[in-house]
Structure 1
Amino acid sequence: MLFRTRALALGAALALLPAPATHAASSTRTLTLSQALSRAVASHPGLAAADREIGAASGRGVQSGAFPNPELSFELDNAFGSKEKRNLDAAETTLQISQLFELGGKRGARMAAAAAEIDAARWDRGATRLQVLAETAEAFARTLGAQRRVVELENQVEDLDRLTPLLQRRVEAGASSSAEIARGRLATETTRVELAKGRAAFQAARRELSVLIGERAPSFATVGGDLARIGAPPSFDVLMARARQNPQLTRFTAVKAQRRALLAQAQAQAIPDVTAGVGWRHYREDRSNAVMASLSVPLPAFDRNRGGVIEATETLAKTDAERAAAERALTVMVGRAYDALRGAYDEARLTRASVLPVAREAYEAVRSGYAEGRYSLLELLEARAALSEATLKEIDALVSFHATLASLEGLTGSALVLSRRAQ
């Protein structure tokens, strides 16, 4: 099935964030993206409901092909009357079996509508699966980014802690005042506050991810992945060509087939069905028997199902408009996601190529010069803050890139091949 193939391809494409090598003992504590995706698909209640809907549609498909049941009737005439018709002396008993024969292709139209309904339910499940994969990948990227922020802030705290002995030596040598120790401690404690906020944000993201993969409480301590891998996305036209194959749009093929069959079914209702019967009659008065036959056809004098035909015609006609509206909405979402992805890619690439090297070089120069007395503590702290800000800015851009990439792959329903220029 096409939607299933695309969903599997999406899951493979989102492995853009590979897990680092870990020891077997700790592998159960580190969640990889592929593990998160498989658990999310296996546990999501929306997919379970979609599977049940396919089963229900299949049941309706089986029922649509059933023939009307034959009807068995028994009649007793000329009994329990007066005079010679007292009791059962002159009774006539009839046993008859009748069968309704549907005309006008009613059964075929009913079966076609049921088959199209099954296809539509399968496409709906495919769309739901893509959404689950995209939401899980986005949550994974946010969790990985929050984890990376914690590591960066921990490094910043350690770096500032290492300044304390150097400050102490400078004060003892008379090169700095004791107020610089308090200033350095203030910078360290401020960073510790940011670290506490970062850890809380990581725990919140971790808990959200655990809910998406069907866990009441997180069973993993960390997530494993390479947040730094990025690449230039394909053109917008390429993305839109793929988005038009999204199950949200392709399902309208099955919907249109279903509504066309419902129209044929409504038109067939104007053709009356025939009920034929054959029976056996016994005359108690002279103890004779006879065969009887019946044929009945309703006369379509008043009800030719015109209202039903009008309804089915209008419902079929609005399918194209519904698809056009869905495609327009999808175009807006793809365009918005594409622009966000391009912006995040450019921001991450430029920050990595230009801002971070300069900030790192400036900090190393000021730190080396501070030890030699050429820079003040304020200049050192400003250089360290600039480096931390650039690093955190890159992390935010990378998180935005991967979260938007997951959303865009969910909209297009396929893997995106990225340029390796910025890997």
Structure 2
Amino acid sequence: MLLVFLIVFGLSFGITLEEGLKILEENNPELRAMRKALESYRGLEISAKAFPNPELRFESGFFSTTQDFKPAGRFIYILEISQKVPLWGLREKRLRVAKTEREVFLYDYTARRYELFSEFYRRFYETLYRKELLKVERENLKLSEEILEFVKNAYRIGERTELELLRARRNYEEARISVSLSENDYERSLKEIRALLGKKVDNVKGNLYTLPEVHVPDIKKSPRVVRYAIIQKLLKGRIELEKALSKPQPSIGILMEDSEEGYYGFRVSLFFEIPLLYRRQGEILRHMKLKEAVLYEMKNEELRLSTSVKNALTRMKTLRESIRLVESVLLPRAEKELSLALKSYRLNVISLLELTDVKRRYFELLRERARLYREFHIAFSELIRIGGVER
């Protein structure tokens, strides 16, 4: 018996929302690629701190002259080692720029992570919605089958007409079709989750009819906004770096000379790159204008996210009121109407057509109830996209 249980249930894999978010963060190829790219910024920091390599120059030549009308000459050898000296805080400024570039990418990673969390949350509750619809359709099929059996028995003893029997069979077949379509929709939703997680998922575990606690995200702390502030910091650092590069860049060298006649020499040299013709004005101007542009982009992103948050909150407020109306008024009333209609039909007080109409309205209300909860979760997923999810 245990073996049968493991074969039937052990091969299936159902997930909760928390489990899915954890799997998404660990297994999603895009997030994994971005984490590797984030590690690559360590190389930029190492490069920024490094000293430039020294330069080695070697020369060899032959000098000739005449002395007492006789040819004479000697070989000479020159060896020079020079080293560029990064003054004006170049290494510190390069390191600061490299670290800020990594920080910008980190916020890009966080923003994309929130996007995928939001997408998974939306798909998860879409799948729960399809699962609930399947339950509703199966309940409708079960009730339609009970009504069909009752009509069959009543028809045999002459209490119901053949027309009612045909209508009951038609309602039953329509309910079977609805179940089949709902099963297909549920399976399609599961495939979308599988594609997002990169893992086999046969079921989702959760309650569609539980509303999440709403926390209004702070727009200014959203990674989509903070990244622009970090980009401004990055551009400021690049401007400071360009200003440092526009100053004279020195190099120190040591030169040694030797010849085959025993002559040798030792000198120290100092070189400067003199910024007479170009002092990196183009790069500085470009970064200054980009910094101004980023400020406007940040304001635009704040406005856009603020509008999205307000729209989502308004949408959730309206949906919450509609859900409260359905749960407290409409659904209990519809359940009571269906119960009375079933009793009345069995007593031959109302027709099958009237019963079918009451049953249809009841199950339409169940579908609408599920749809309202799904829409609420979709609106909530927009807040996750902006501010993340508390776990």
**TM-score of the superposed pair, with normalisation by structure 1:** 0.85
Return the alpha-carbon distance in structure 2 between the equivalents of residues 49 and 272 of structure 1. Answer: 41
CA positional deviation for 1:173:
3.9
The answer on 1:302 being equivalent to 2:277 is: yes
2:48 aligned with 1:64: yes
Please state if 1:408 is matched with 2:389: no
CA distance in 1, matches of 2:65, 2:29: 71
Q: Are positions 1:270 and 2:251 aligned together?
A: no
Could you tell me how far apart the structure 2 residues matched to 1:233 and 1:369 are? 45
For the aligned residues, what is the CA RMSD? 2.3
How far apart are the structure 2 equivalents of 1:83 and 1:307?
A: 56
Q: Relative to 1, partners in 2 of residues 1:233 and 1:126: Cα closer, same or farther, differing over 3 Å? A: closer
Aligned 8 A contact 2:315 2:379 in 1: yes
Equivalent runs, 1:231-270 vs 2, <5 Å: 233=214, 239=216, 242-270=218-246
Q: Note the C-alpha offset of 1:111.
A: 1.0
TM-score by length of 2: 0.91
Tell me which residue corresponds to 2:206. 225
* Contact residue 46 and residue 128 of structure 1 kept, 8 A: no
Give the 3-state SS of the residue equivalent to 1:128 in structure 2. Answer: helix
Post-superposition offset of 1:381: 0.6
* Structure 2 unaligned regions, length at least 5: none
1:3 aligned residue: none
Q: Which whole-Å CA distance do the structure 1 matches of 2:384 and 2:283 have between them?
A: 41
- 1:220 maps to a residue whose letter is V
**Structure 1 unaligned spans of 5+:** 1-22, 417-423
* Between 275-284 and 163-172, the greater mean CA deviation after superposition: 163-172
Kindly indicate whether the alpha-carbon contact (under 8 Å) linking 1:232 and 1:342 is maintained by their aligned counterparts in 2: no
Aligned with 1:294: secondary structure? strand
How many residue pairs end up in the alignment?
Answer: 383
Change (3 A) 1:274 1:158: same
Q: 1:186 aligns with which of 153, 170, 181?
A: 170
- How far 1:174 sits from its partner (Å)? 3.3
Number of the residue aligned with 1:8: none
Q: Which range moves more in the overlay, 275-284 or 333-342?
A: 333-342
Aligned runs of 1:154-169 on 2, under 5 Å?
154-169=138-153
Q: What is the alpha-carbon distance in structure 2 between the residues aligned to residue 51 and residue 75 of structure 1?
A: 50
Residue type at the aligned position of 2:123: A
CA contact (8 A) 2:114 2:387 kept: no
Pairing 1:357–2:332 present:
yes
**Higher deviation after alignment, 405-414 or 185-194:** 405-414
- 1:283 and 1:289 in contact (8 A); partners too: yes
- Distance in structure 1 (CA, Å) of the matches to 2:219 and 2:43: 32
**Deviation, structure 1 residue 82:** 7.8
| Partner residue of 2:255 out of 266, 275, 279 | 279
Which is further off, 354-363 or 125-134?
125-134
Shift in Å, 1:83:
6.5
1:303 is displaced (CA, Å) by: 0.9
**How much identity, in percent, do the aligned residues show?**
20
Tell me the equivalent position of 2:266.
291
Q: Give, in angstroms, the shift of residue 88 of structure 1.
A: 10
> For the residues of structure 2 that align with 1:252 and 1:297, how far apart are their CA atoms?
38
Q: CA deviation at 1:222?
A: 1.9
Partner of 1:40: 24
For the pair 1:202 / 2:183, whether they are aligned, the reply is: no
Output the CA distance in 1 between the equivalents of 2:164 and 2:225.
Answer: 64
Q: 2:201 & 2:238 partners in 1: Cα distance?
A: 51
Further displaced range: 154-163 or 300-309: 300-309
* Match of residue 314, structure 2, among 319, 339, 351: 339
State the match for 2:35 in structure 1.
51
Q: CA deviation at 1:87?
A: 11
**Could you tell me which amino acid in structure 2 is paired with residue 69 of structure 1?**
N
Tell me the secondary structure at the aligned position of residue 297 of structure 1: strand
Which residue of structure 2 aligns with residue 421 of structure 1? none
Aligned to 1:140, which of 92, 112, 124?
124
Contact 2:75/2:259 (<8 A) preserved: yes
